[in-house]
Amino acid sequence: MKDLLTGKVVVISGGSQGLGAGVARSAAREGAAAVVVTGRRVEPGKQLEAELTAQGVSALFVQTDVADPEQAIAAVEAAVTAFGRVDCLVNAAGLTDRGTLVDTTPELFDRHVAINLRGPFFTMQAAVKDMQRRGARGSIVNVISVAELGGQPYLAPYVAAKAGLAGLTRNAAHAHRWDRIRINGLDIGWTETEGEDLTQRRFHGAGDDWLDKANASVPMGKLGQVDEIADFVAFLLSDRSGVVTGSVLDWDQTVPGGSD
C-alpha cells in the first residue's frame, strides 16, 4: 500500500530512535503532512528532524521525558501549535530495565509505571482532547509488548506497566469510539534495535555475537525488524485498517498458550 497517511499530522512519543524513529520514517513515506517526534535525547531527535525535512516532510523534534506528565502533555500541545492539530498518535517510548518481583526497588517500579503507563496515558489525554475540540476523527497506536501476557521473571515491573497499558488501550478505545477515535495496541516481541543491543550487553553480558545467536533461536530465523513493525503501525493508524478499535494485536513469532 502507498500514501496511507496522506495529509495527516502524526505525533510519535519516543520517536527519536529505535521503533519510534522507524514509525516516523514510515509515516513520512506514507505521505504524512507533518511528523512530530519526541524523546529525551536531543542529538538523535534533531538528526531525525533534519533527515525528514530533507525529504520534504514537515518535521519537528520536541525534547520530552514522558515520565513527566506536564512534558508529555506539552509535547502534544507543541504539535498542535506548530501544525494546527494531531490526527495520529503513536506511543513508542519505553523502559526495559530489568527487575524481578523480589529485587525490584520502589524507585525502579515507579520509573516503569511513569514511562510505560503514565506517559502514554497523558499523551493520549492531550491528543484526544485536541481531536474532541475539533470534532475530528483520529487514530492512536500504543506500542505494548507480548510480555504483558506474562513475560520473563526479570521483567516484573515492565510487565506490570505494559499490562496496564493494554487495559488502558481497551478502556480508552471503548470510551471514545463514538468520538470516532480509534485506539489500538501492538504487542510486539523480541525486536532488533540499538536499544536492545545495549540491553543485552548491560543486563545479560552479551557479546558481539548475541544477535546471531538470537536470530538462530527463533522460528523465523530473525528477530522482529523495525521497518516491518513500523509499516504495520502505519497501517493501523490509517483509514485502511477500517473500523478496528480496542484491539491489542500480537506481532511476534511466538504463540501465546502454545506448548511443545
Active site residues: 158
Kindly report the three-state secondary structure assignment for every residue of 126-140: HHHHHHHHHCCCEEE
**Nearest residue to 4 (alpha-carbon basis) of 260, 193, 244, 237:** 237
Burial class (CB in 10 A: 0-12, 13-18, 19+), 187: buried
38: closest CA among 126, 101, 103, 110?
126
Of 126, 128, 94, 69, nearest in space to 13 by CA: 94
Owner of C-alpha cell 519510534? 20
